[in-house]
Amino acid sequence: GSHTQPEDMAPRIVEHPTDVLVSKGEPATLSCKAEGRPAPVVEWYKDGERVETDREDPRSHRTLLPGGSLFFLRILHGRRGKPDEGVYICVARNYLGEATSRNASLEVAGE
C-alpha cells in the first residue's frame, strides 16, 4: 500500500517558461516554478531530450536554479549549429505524479 500523507500534493507548475530571443554569448533564463509536497524535482527537456545541467556536468554552461528555472551562462552558437536553440519544457515530479509546463522556444538572434 502507499502511505500518502493527507497534505501531500501532486506537482503543479505555477510559473511557466516563456519564449525567449537571445543574442549569442548572452545569458538567458527560462523560468519555471513548481509547487507540490514533497517539493517536486524539476527537469528540463529540449526537443524531447533531457537537458544536462551543472548537476550532472560541472562544466556545463546551464545551471538549474533552486526554484527550478534554467539559467544559461551564455548562449552557445557556433558555425556547426545552435546547440541551445529549440523548444523547452520543464517537468516537475514527485511521488504523486508529474506536471509538464507549456512549451517555450529559445531562439538565437541572427548575426
What digits encode the pLDDT tens for the residues 58-104? 999 999 999 999 999 999 877 778 889 999 999 999 999 999 999 99
Residue 4 included in any domain = no
Indicate the number of domains in the chain.
1
Which CATH number belongs to the domain containing residue 42 in this structure? 2.60.40.10
Residue 77 included in any domain = yes
Q: What are phi and psi of 59, to 5 degrees?
A: -85, -5
- pLDDT in the model for residue 1: 56
- pLDDT in the model for residue 76: 85
Residues contacting residue 86 through CB under 8 Å, at least 6 positions apart:
46, 47, 105, 106
Query: What domain range includes position 51?
Result: 9-108
CA 31 to chain centre: 7
- pLDDT in the model for residue 86: 97
Lowest mean pLDDT across 46-50, 74-78, 97-101, 106-110: 74-78
Residue 3 included in any domain = no
Q: What is the mean pLDDT of the chain?
A: 93
Tell me which residue has cell 538572434: 109
Query: With bands split at pLDDT 50, 70 and 90, how would you rate the model's confidence at 55?
Result: confident
